[in-house]
Structure 1
């Protein structure tokens, strides 16, 4: 078998295991029927479909990314907004979530489905803060190479609904929060900048659960490799650093690996130049790893965002091997234009929206 295809298959097995529909469906037994369903994030539509399949007709609001709100019943209110930089629709989505929460009656039960991307997709700003302020903050945060925990801490400072703010408007009796984690440590206070976090001194009954995470995806990829009869030498959340540092750390390990598989997860960071080219952190890491393994025979690496998108592009990442790195690649890498180079050499990983978001996944195979 082509080892590049096999690496993609293992990557896809990891993503499929944390699909928003599947993960949410598995968590719903024992959850009483809610009076309202609110879903926010990139996989929000998939999570909402699972809840509606179980509970039937329930008033539902979904706030998600452009082109991610598909296959929902006509009765569902859907607001699609911009990611990774918010727009006016993000403010509409945030206000709609807050108003829906405020309108819940005493004794009611809300099911809140939370996933990554909510930091940009839904916002209700504190008085005195404008959309222009929010856009500028997000552009700066995305360009400075900060990790997601640091970025979301800054985002919470402008928000009425992050950091427990959304549920502070709930006056009902019971809140169930199911979350797909795209952050290190699976902290509900960080996922979506804490849009599903519990407020201080809340008076309602609350149940929270992480239904899918990067560890779940990595473990599923390991299982797929085991079934294929390949040895697995690594299963680590090892990508939390600048992408060049990650590549420098993984390069010698990958060059020295025996026949088998290594699987890594997490979320690298990128410091962008003033005028970046095309691509996101996964395409940048893929090209940096291509440099590290240049000339290595029988080695293929897939680097991809589990949500199916990488930065402001339609690609999830890249598929590289020992022959990917070529003349001119260094210039593309330095100009934050890795996506253009990978596209030129037919090395982009393109999946479309996956219905989940659990950070990034790297699968390396030595054939």
Structure 2
């Protein structure tokens, strides 16, 4: 792949992601909405640490906070923050510890108090207090089953709510204070608070307290920033849509067909594909699988560079965000990699793996394609 094309798609992708990073988005929303200083902060999700930093920027770092996030995503938070790291996408023992801690902190808040909830994608797996009779083993098996079957986030979160004492508004049902403010980074189609984190930051319908919810970042905002950057680079933005939904193989064929016949310019797509896994999947994730399958569809087109990456910096149970492919990436052994769900190994071997580390946000996935 031409190094300049690779550099350009990375530049555009990162510009989109930086526009929705947790610290800046939360700080901006708290100031714009003139949110009052809270008595306690609960932050849950892959972007929890960055979102807390945004609250600290506005209110100072001395507010008691519980931060629940993925392993390796906590950053360097002050002593006022209690941090619990847990597994994602399949929960572990720390998931239950986090769920119990969240439940207890909400229950123990006094009348007249103000709670600030900061919620981002990943919250569903990172914190759980199961309904009686649901064990960690059964919770893990159910999550693994849903992932393997390629269910979309709406179907998965609906099932998670059924098994939970803290999802779907149940966590805040025990709040005895006066006000809950929820700032959410959306990782779901439609940006519904009832779906983000399986509704862990949503209020129950019969809430006796005041409730102020805000969506502070979304895939739309990231795509708009990416498009703005492409335009600033003198490139024509030909496509800007949230259509990356459905199975990765189906998407590879439709997006590949579009790119083959599209005019030169930049094409920006957002969403969250699904992938059906074999019984013993290898190293990879949905973005890596889509990138590899797309490389097959655009094989031979040396005027194309395509980056597919999870905006949170992680793709499935891997340390990569996705892949960067072009017309010369595909090899016949890629078919075996796709079948065995080990696209990550193929991409790594061919200098096509995209690794970012934690980004401080999570607004689903972002595809940036450059055609010259």
> Which blocks of at least 5 consecutive residues in structure 1 are unaligned?
none
Alpha-carbon distance between aligned partners in 2 of 1:261 and 1:10, rounded to the nearest angstrom? 9
Displacement of 1:75 in angstroms is: 2.3
Alpha-carbon distance between aligned partners in 2 of 1:337 and 1:93, rounded to the nearest angstrom? 31
Secondary structure of the residue aligned to 1:207 is strand
Displacement of 1:129 in angstroms is: 1.0
1:303-318 to structure 2, matched below 5 A, reads: 303-318=308-323
Report what 2:4 is aligned to.
2
Report what 1:244 is aligned to.
249
> Over residues 300-333 of structure 1, what are the superposed CA-to-partner deviations in whole Å (9 max), with x where a residue is unaligned?
0000000000000000000000000013111111
1:229 aligns with 2:234: yes
Secondary structure of the residue aligned to 1:185 is coil
1:358 aligns with 2:363: yes
Report what 1:336 is aligned to.
341
Displacement of 1:53 in angstroms is: 2.1
Following TM superposition, the consecutive aligned residue runs of length 4 or more in structure 1 with deviations greater than 6 angstroms are: none
Aligned Cα root-mean-square deviation (Å): 0.7
Alpha-carbon distance between aligned partners in 2 of 1:273 and 1:267, rounded to the nearest angstrom? 19
Aligned with 2:304 (options 299, 303, 309): 299
Report what 2:18 is aligned to.
16
1:37 aligns with 2:41: yes
Number of matched residues? 367
1:71 aligns with 2:73: no
Aligned with 2:221 (options 216, 223, 240): 216
**2:63–2:80: 8 Å Cα contact kept in structure 1?**
no
> Over residues 148-176 of structure 1, what are the superposed CA-to-partner deviations in whole Å (9 max), with x where a residue is unaligned?
00011011111000000111111100000
Alpha-carbon distance between aligned partners in 2 of 1:221 and 1:83, rounded to the nearest angstrom? 27
Alpha-carbon distance between aligned partners in 2 of 1:229 and 1:54, rounded to the nearest angstrom? 36
**TM-score, structure 2 normalization:** 0.98
Displacement of 1:280 in angstroms is: 0.3
Report what 2:104 is aligned to.
99
Secondary structure of the residue aligned to 1:237 is strand
Alpha-carbon distance between aligned partners in 1 of 2:40 and 2:197, rounded to the nearest angstrom? 20
Report what 2:193 is aligned to.
188
Alpha-carbon distance between aligned partners in 2 of 1:267 and 1:327, rounded to the nearest angstrom? 26
Report what 2:287 is aligned to.
282
> Over residues 249-286 of structure 1, what are the superposed CA-to-partner deviations in whole Å (9 max), with x where a residue is unaligned?
11111011222100000000000000111100000000
Secondary structure of the residue aligned to 1:238 is strand
Secondary structure of the residue aligned to 1:83 is coil
Alpha-carbon distance between aligned partners in 1 of 2:344 and 2:83, rounded to the nearest angstrom? 31
Alpha-carbon distance between aligned partners in 1 of 2:204 and 2:16, rounded to the nearest angstrom? 33
